[in-house]
Structure 1
Amino acid sequence: MRYLLILAFLSIAACKEEVADLPDAMPMTEDALSYFCQMQVISHAGPKGQVHLEGYPAPLFFAQVRDLIAYLKSPERDADILVVYVSDMGSAPSWGQPDAADWIAAKDAHFVVGANVAGGMGAPEIVPFATQLDADAFTAKYGGAVVSLEAIPDDAALGPVDLDDKLEEPT
């Protein structure tokens, strides 16, 4: 019995150590460039994302969450993903200026897909929220459905984009 208690304690300690080793979200600065287009992230409207990779000193930033999701769904990466953060648009001062330091873990976020809104690069956006309540309020105004990170359909991030669609910029 004593052996089982020691083993259980060591397992719990190992789990806590693993969580503690995850990097914190990095605030966006003017130096942060979007991974795919190498444009300044902070100068684009809408939610942002960052991916921390094992062995990399800085995260990969994304000017649009749709692009971040496309990266996550891609089989080609240079390293294992440690943690992913996204903007909490429920606490953002505005769509045009999401808080540069207000990040939530993507695994815990509520994502709105299929809303009639454009992200920072002009394509339909996948919009993250920390709370179900904020996500539901957004869908009531702009449409779409609330899903978890794992449930985001491939075509929401990887499908073709018609830039002639009349997408809104939320207020």
Structure 2
Amino acid sequence: MRVLLLTCALLALAACKEEEVIRPLPVALTEDAVSHYCQMNVMEHGGPKAQIHLDGLPDPLFFGQVRDAVAFLKSPERDNRVLATYVSDMGAAESWLLPGTTNWIDADTAHFVIEAGVRGGMGAPEVVPFAEPGDAAAFVSEFGGRVVGLADIPDTEVTGPVDPDMTLQEPAS
């Protein structure tokens, strides 16, 4: 009887243990990728991109601007758990217009330049990610702004209306 009780207790503990989740790897950006919010082709627009992998979905959500992905992460209105978020490493990008298709970095470890006044692929102010702090600092030297981690990006940088008359820079191609 004691063995039966111990077995039942162990089975109950095993059932309660949270399911281990395997973190998905980034997916190469292709011509078929469309931006989650606007459904426009991601590769037709310059600037950094993002992809978010959600529990229960076979494919990641792509974003034509990192700003939009960060807004998605900050939103309380999503049904699926975020498994991984990747952003373009603009330090490894060929140019602003060609941000790359495979140079993804983990958003949790990226260095983001905010408040630089640069225009992203969808025309709004952009949050610009870099793998290396030196690349982020060089970008700040040229365009202004400051460097922060993902958790320190203020809501005001990624949510709310965008002033269409705002003067923004577009980094050289």
Same fold (TM over 0.5): yes
The question of 1:100 aligning with 2:89 is answered no
Please give the per-residue CA displacement for 1:104-160, whole angstroms capped at 9, x wherever unaligned.
000000000000200000000000000110000000100111000000000000132
The question of 1:53 aligning with 2:47 is answered no
Separation (CA, whole Å) in 2 of partners of 1:52 and 1:93: 25
Within a 5 Å distance, the mapping from 1:53-132 to structure 2 comes to: 53-132=54-133
SS in 1 for 2:108: helix
> 5+ unaligned residues in a row in structure 2: which ranges?
1-19
Q: Which residue of 1 aligns with 2:15?
A: none
Point out the structure with the larger helix share. Answer: 1
Q: Which residue of 2 aligns with 1:139?
A: 140
Separation (CA, whole Å) in 2 of partners of 1:116 and 1:55: 36
List structure 1 runs of 4+ shifted beyond 3 angstroms.
Answer: none
- Tell me which amino acid in the other structure corresponds to 2:166: D
Separation (CA, whole Å) in 2 of partners of 1:69 and 1:151: 11
Separation (CA, whole Å) in 1 of partners of 2:42 and 2:70: 16
Q: Which residue of 1 aligns with 2:11?
A: none
Separation (CA, whole Å) in 1 of partners of 2:124 and 2:40: 15
Q: Which residue of 2 aligns with 1:13?
A: none
Identity %, equivalent residues:
58
Kindly state the Cα deviation for residue 55 of structure 1 after the two structures are TM-superposed. 1.1
Aligned residues: 153
- Tell me which amino acid in the other structure corresponds to 1:131: E
Kindly state the Cα deviation for residue 84 of structure 1 after the two structures are TM-superposed. 0.2
Separation (CA, whole Å) in 2 of partners of 1:99 and 1:28: 8
Kindly state the Cα deviation for residue 166 of structure 1 after the two structures are TM-superposed. 1.7
- Tell me which amino acid in the other structure corresponds to 2:62: F
Q: Cα RMSD between the aligned structures?
A: 1.0
Kindly state the Cα deviation for residue 163 of structure 1 after the two structures are TM-superposed. 1.6
Separation (CA, whole Å) in 2 of partners of 1:73 and 1:22: 20
